[in-house]
């Protein structure tokens, strides 16, 4: 099966090998301190485990290929792309969830994730599943800042945050869990207007993130800023390196194909993915110049499409269905206790929505190249 890519946001060439030594040298030379992550299930290592929500992945068969073969809350058989990014840069092999009750402050220093599965740029998306909206994730980031300051002192803590790589990965749920299922947003916006609304929310939250990471911005001021989303340009930046991950080809997800009664990728959903990614990329160019920060965009759409069109090049054989259950509709709780395929490393999808650890590693390699070319050099 060949997936039509239409017009890609940016050209993508998958790397079969990443020079880990070179990446680590560049990271050290540029004082990269840690990786701080915000987003949805694509980057949630288990924060939803402690929330009153059904959107969890802390049960088998999730985690069957993770260290110790245990479920952690990650919606995959193993590690996520952000885990591989942290490992490649030279920190821990995984990025822990900030809400993990067993996490020690000392282990937060080299990176942590505030992400919450089923979240989105639209706070209403998170409300549907009772998970953490991006605004709440930013508030937890302020708690993180306070904890690290207490451990290391204000100057050292602020240096760590200033030299961190911030990763933002969400958007899928705004369409699949919200706009296409709930009548509220469609009654307010056309699909194009809703995309513009989401991009505006993304920009506001990036500005809030920058403001809240500034060494001169306290917690109360940050919360007030997040409420008002003031538009003035920040003269003293905290966050200086940002990686934003686009949405994948929504029409190629097994769940979407099943619900739309199609055996091939749903073109209208893929057109939406490309349109939204294009809007994100354009807005990031503006943010990059206006706020004078280094910004990298990861075209996950192009990465997944290329892997699906050239599976044997990456050791893949199954691109149309997931590894869990029938592979056509199960994800989250409906995947609980299901039988799985014999070899997930041959699959693009783990369940009917989320990638396998193998696919996340491929995505991570491209993300690391984005970090390399846009943030470190």
- At 116-166, the pLDDT tens digits run 999 999 999 999 999 999 999 999 999 999 999 999 999 999 999 989 999
Torsion angle (degrees, nearest 10) of CA 217, 219, 223, 228: -20
State yes or no: is 77 an active-site residue.
no
The active-site residue out of 76, 158, 273, 354 is: 354
Q: Could you read off the pLDDT of 167-198 as tens digits, one per residue?
A: 999 999 999 999 999 999 999 999 999 999 99
Question: Residue 120's closest CA among 201, 226, 225?
Answer: 201
Q: Is 312 a catalytic residue?
A: no
Q: What whole-number distance in Å separates Cα of residue 196 and Cα of residue 199? A: 5
pLDDT of residue 219: 54
Q: Higher model confidence: residue 158 or residue 276?
A: 276
What's the half-sphere exposure (Cβ side, CA atoms, 13 Å) at 139? 10
20-376: CATH, from 3.40.50.300, 3.65.10.10, 3.40.50.1110, 3.40.50.720: 3.40.50.1110
Kindly report the average pLDDT of the chain as a whole number.
88
Entry pTM: 0.91
Tokens of 39: 């987003």
Q: What is the mean pLDDT of residues 338-347?
A: 98
Residue 218 confidence (pLDDT) = 58
Q: What is the C-alpha to C-alpha distance for residues 236 and 249, in angstroms, rounded to an integer?
A: 37
pLDDT at residue 5 in the model: 37
Catalytic entry in 83, 100, 299, 351: 351
Confidence of residue 19 (pLDDT cuts 50, 70, 90): confident
354 flagged as catalytic: yes
pLDDT at 233 over 90: no
Q: Which of 33, 41, 116, 213 is catalytic?
A: 41
Angle between helical axes of 357-370 and 300-309 (0-180°, round to 10): 130
Q: Which of 73, 288, 301 shows the shortest CA–CA distance to 309?
A: 301
The predicted structure's pLDDT at residue 29: 74
Are the C-beta atoms of 45 and 72 separated by less than 8 Å?
yes
Q: What is the pLDDT of residue 264?
A: 97
CA pair distance 117, 4, nearest whole angstrom: 29
Categorize the per-residue pLDDT at 229 as very low, low, confident or very high, splitting at 50, 70 and 90: very low
């Amino acid at each position: 099966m060949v997936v039509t890519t239409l017009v890609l946001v940016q050209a993508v060439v998958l790397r079969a090998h990443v020079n880990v030594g070179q990446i680590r040298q560049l990271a050290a030379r540029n004082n990269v301190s840690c990786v701080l992550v915000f987003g949805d299930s694509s980057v949630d290592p288990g924060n939803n485990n402690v929330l009153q929500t059904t959107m969890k992945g802390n049960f088998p068969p999730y985690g069957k290929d993770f260290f110790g073969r245990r479920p952690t809350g990650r919606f995959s058989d193993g590690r996520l792309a952000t885990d591989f990014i942290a490992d490649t840069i030279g920190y821990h092999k995984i990025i822990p969830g900030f809400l993990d009750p067993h996490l020690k402050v000392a282990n937060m220093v080299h990176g942590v994730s505030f992400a919450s599965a089923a979240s989105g740029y639209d706070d209403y998306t998170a409300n549907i599943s009772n998970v953490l909206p991006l605004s709440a994730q930013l508030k937890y980031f302020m708690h993180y800042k306070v904890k690290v300051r207490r451990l290391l002192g204000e100057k050292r803590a602020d240096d760590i945050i200033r030299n961190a790589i911030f990763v933002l990965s969400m958007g899928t749920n705004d369409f699949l869990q919200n706009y296409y299922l709930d009548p509220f947003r469609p009654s307010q916006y056309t699909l194009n207007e809703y995309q513009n609304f989401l991009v505006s929310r993304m920009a506001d939250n990036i500005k809030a993130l920058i403001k809240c990471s500034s060494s001169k911005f306290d917690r109360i001021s940050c919360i007030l800023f997040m409420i008002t989303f003031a538009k003035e340009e920040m003269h003293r930046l905290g966050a200086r390196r940002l990686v934003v991950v686009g949405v994948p080809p929504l029409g190629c997800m097994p769940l979407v194909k099943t619900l739309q009664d199609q055996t091939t990728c749903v073109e209208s959903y893929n057109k939406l993915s490309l349109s939204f990614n294009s809007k994100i990329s354009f807005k990031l160019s503006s943010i990059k110049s206006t706020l004078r920060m280094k910004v990298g965009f990861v075209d996950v759409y192009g990465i997944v499409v290329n892997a699906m069109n050239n599976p044997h090049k990456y050791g893949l054989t199954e691109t149309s269905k997931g590894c869990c259950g029938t592979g056509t509709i199960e994800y989250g709780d409906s995947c609980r206790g299901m039988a799985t395929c014999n070899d997930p490393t041959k699959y693009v999808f783990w369940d009917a929505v989320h990638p396998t650890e193998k696919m996340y590693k491929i995505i991570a390699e491209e993300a690391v190249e984005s970090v390399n070319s846009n943030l470190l050099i």
